[in-house]
């Protein structure tokens, strides 16, 4: 059996060589150009960063280390982490070794929960999750070893060490956020017989007699782990980590971006949109009613949550995986029926509206529907579940970046006056 660290110790020298060789031989080759519209428009489409964990193909969706997402949806998040960081799926005994290691590292210091309990009861779960990580920063091994003069070539090892602690603890932390924010504040100890995902569901304390919630959690935490590195959460983590801020600071920064309504908060907004429709129409509306309601929202300047994407130009394969799961777990729930109706109606309305470049649903159009149907009804918590998963991709990217010595991020910004002069206007 090989441990994750042993596999990486074997692979990293070759990865470094490959990077060094590309830079030495092709460092001056142009791979992208930037238009004025891109500079003003969130750098869409500008190829200005390397990410080897995954890539998002506009027409097919997420590809993880060469594997289309649809081929690995049955894997667990621990396998996804191993795949992201090494490029290969683990052997069963290596997976077991990683799961045991995560279990060993899973205890969250009591002071972290004390800090969360001191917050106002109305604090958003995303703020609590991010504060919880920052409260653990004091234990960062990267920071301690950096202060003690760690060599550059050893950064990735300290980053892996912190990442394993962080990933082991983030379900415990986030389940604690749920207990403090929505329940009596008493924490539920982890169950050693359950895996990372099932334990997260278990520690939240939501009744799960069918086991469907644990299965949904396993799928959800797998699907949301990584989406290359230009999205807001991964990018914020990337930039923060590039300053050699340790993984607690860097992942916390990423989570703060995930908390935005155009990114991770969309699942909360989307569920609320579904609930508002069911309430307004006293159940699932007709297609005509839904069409009118969608137009009302668009005409009042609101976006339709769960539809569109900055990169994708197809149905998000993560949506498809959620849809397949919903058909087996909650197909008769009004919420799921409404989501299906939306799939039929909304793309047509958005096409007629004529603005969105992608009129298809993204993963957020269904993930909240599934969570709600299986008993997780506090929608502000959904983004925190996303955060547990996205921490996997953020840590995987950070380990690789420290391995190849990715320097501090510092793109050049220009002023509007500079643009005016440049274009000769
Ligand atoms: N409803 C209404 N208008 C939409 C829209 C939607 N679902 N999607 C895009 N548009 C509009 C944009 O607001 C933009 O309008 P303006 O020109 O007036 O600014 C126009 O269409 C062009 O946008 P785009 O290029 O197609 O999309 P962007 O890259 O600018 O934005 C977003 C991508 C995901 C932010 C956008 O589609 C959106 O707001 N969707 C709804 C929110 C959502 O579902 N977010 C989750 C995305 C997945 C994710 O990251 N999860 O974490």
- Chain segment 392-413, per-residue pLDDT in tens: 999 999 999 999 999 999 999 9
**Which numbered atom of ligand 1 lies nearest the CA of 232?**
50
> From ligand 1's centre to the CA of 191, what distance in Å?
41
Q: Which of 202, 263, 274, 323 is catalytic?
A: 263
Q: Give the whole-angstrom CA distance, residue 17 versus residue 203.
A: 43
Share of residues in the chain with pLDDT > 70 (%) = 100
Q: Specify the pTM.
A: 0.95
Cα–Cα nearest to 371, from 263, 275, 252, 262: 275
Active-site annotation holds for 263 = yes
77, 400, 123, 398: which is closest to 249 by C-alpha?
398
Pocket lining: 302 vs ligand 1, CB cutoff 6 Å: no
Say how many Å lie between the CA of residue 360 and the centre of ligand 1: 11
Q: Does the Cβ of 276 fall within 6 Å of ligand 1?
A: no
Q: Is the minimum distance from the CB of 306 to ligand 1 under 6 angstroms?
A: yes
CB of 228 closer than 6 A to ligand 1?
Answer: no
Which atom of ligand 1 is nearest the CA belonging to 227? 50
- With a 6 A CB cut-off, is 262 part of the ligand 1 pocket? yes
Mean local confidence (pLDDT), 87-101: 98
Does 147 qualify as catalytic in the annotation?
Answer: no
**Element housing 242 (H / E):** helix 232-242
pLDDT band at 29 (very low <50, low <70, confident <90, very high): very high
φ/ψ of residue 62, rounded to 5: -70, 130
Residue 323 tokens read as 């849809």
The whole-number pLDDT of residue 11 equals 98
Contact 136, 248 (CB under 8 A): yes
347-354 long-range contacts, CB within 8 A, separation 24+: 347/307, 348/291, 349/291, 349/294, 349/295, 349/298, 349/304, 350/298, 350/304, 350/307, 350/308, 353/298
Six token digits for residue 247: 């993984």
Any catalytic annotation for residue 353? no
Complete edge-to-edge strand list for the sheet that includes strand 61-64 = 54-57, 61-64, 67-68
Among protein residues, the one whose CA lies closest to atom 30 of ligand 1: 310
CA angle 383, 181, 219 (to 5 degrees): 35
- Please state the atom number of ligand 1 nearest to the C-alpha of residue 298: 2
Check if 264 has its Cβ closer than 6 Å to any atom of ligand 1: yes
Query: Which atom of ligand 1 has the smallest separation from the CA of 355?
Result: 21
**Contact between 17 and 95 (Cβ < 8 Å):** no
pLDDT digits (tens, 9 = 90+) for 333-382: 999 999 999 999 999 999 999 999 999 999 999 999 999 999 999 999 99
C-alpha span between 213 and 382 (Å, rounded): 13
The residues spanned by each domain of the chain are: 266-373
pLDDT value at position 425? 74
Which DSSP symbol is given to 265? T
Ligand 1 pocket test: pick from 234, 266, 308, 316 the residue with the most ligand atoms within 8 Å of its Cβ. 308
Question: What is the Å distance from ligand 1's center to 308 Cα?
Answer: 5
The predicted structure's pLDDT at residue 292: 97
Whole-angstrom distance, CA of residue 117 vs CA of residue 119: 5
Ligand 1 atom closest to Cα of residue 41: 30
Mutate to test the pocket of ligand 1, among 356, 359, 364, 389 (most ligand atoms within 8 A of CB): 356
Residue nearest atom 16 of ligand 1, based on CA coordinates:
355
Residue 309 CB less than 6 A away from ligand 1: yes
- Give yes or no for a contact between 336 and 369, defined as CB atoms under 8 angstroms apart: yes
Residue 237 clears pLDDT 80, i.e. is over it: yes
pLDDT averaged over every residue in the chain: 97
- Whole-number percent of the chain with pLDDT over 90: 97
Nearest Cα to Cα of residue 180 among 126, 132, 116, 111? 116
φ/ψ (deg, to 5) at 392:
-60, -50
Q: Look up the CATH architecture of domain 266-373.
A: Orthogonal Bundle (1.10)
* 3-class SS of residue 11: helix
CA atoms within 13 A on the CB side of 137: 17
**Closest ligand 1 atom to Cα of 302:** 2
Q: Which of 43, 69, 65 is nearest to 310 (CA)?
A: 43
Whether residue 357 has its Cβ less than 6 Å from ligand 1:
yes
Name which residue sits closest to atom 3 of ligand 1, judged by CA. Answer: 303
């Amino acid at each position: 059996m090989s441990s994750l660290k042993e596999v990486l110790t074997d692979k990293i020298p070759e990865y470094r060589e490959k990077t060094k060789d590309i830079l030495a031989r092709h460092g001056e080759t142009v791979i992208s150009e930037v238009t004025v519209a891109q500079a003003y428009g969130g750098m869409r489409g500008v190829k200005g960063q390397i990410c080897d964990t995954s890539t998002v193909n506009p027409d097919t969706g997420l590809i993880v280390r060469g594997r289309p997402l649809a081929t690995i949806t049955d894997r667990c998040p621990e396998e996804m982490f191993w795949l992201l960081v090494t490029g290969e799926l683990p052997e069963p005994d290596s997976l077991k070794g990683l799961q045991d290691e995560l279990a060993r590292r899973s205890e969250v210091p009591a002071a972290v929960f004390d800090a969360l309990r001191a917050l106002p009861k109305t604090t958003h779960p995303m703020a609590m999750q991010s504060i919880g990580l920052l409260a653990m920063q004091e234990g960062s091994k990267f920071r301690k070893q950096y202060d003690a003069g760690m060599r550059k070539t050893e950064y990735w090892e300290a980053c892996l060490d912190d990442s394993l602690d962080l990933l082991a603890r983030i379900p415990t932390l986030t389940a604690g956020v749920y207990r403090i924010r929505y329940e009596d504040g008493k924490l539920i100890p982890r169950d050693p017989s359950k895996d990372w995902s099932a334990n997260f569901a278990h520690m939240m304390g939501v009744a799960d007699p069918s086991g469907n919630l644990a299965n949904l959690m396993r799928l959800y935490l797998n699907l949301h782990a990584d989406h290359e590195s230009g999205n807001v959460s991964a990018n914020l983590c990337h930039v923060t980590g590039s300053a050699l801020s340790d993984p607690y600071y860097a992942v916390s920064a990423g989570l703060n971006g995930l908390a935005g309504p155009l990114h991770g908060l969309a699942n909360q907004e989307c569920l609320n949109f579904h609930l508002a429709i069911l309430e307004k129409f006293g159940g699932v509306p007709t297609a005509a009613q839904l069409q009118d309601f969608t137009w009302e929202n668009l005409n009042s300047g609101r976006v339709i949550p769960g539809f569109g994407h900055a990169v994708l130009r197809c149905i998000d394969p993560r949506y498809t995986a959620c849809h397949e799961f919903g058909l087996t777990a909650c197909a008769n729930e009004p919420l799921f029926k409404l989501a299906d109706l939306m799939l039929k109606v909304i793309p047509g309305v958005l096409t007629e509206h004529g603005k969105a470049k992608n009129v298809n649903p993204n993963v957020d159009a269904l993930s909240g529907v599934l969570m709600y149907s299986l008993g997780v009804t506090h929608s502000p918590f959904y983004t925190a579940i996303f955060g547990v998963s996205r921490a996997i991709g953020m840590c995987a990217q950070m380990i690789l970046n420290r391995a190849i010595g990715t320097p501090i991020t510092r793109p050049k910004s220009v002023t509007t006056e500079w643009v005016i002069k440049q274009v000769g206007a």
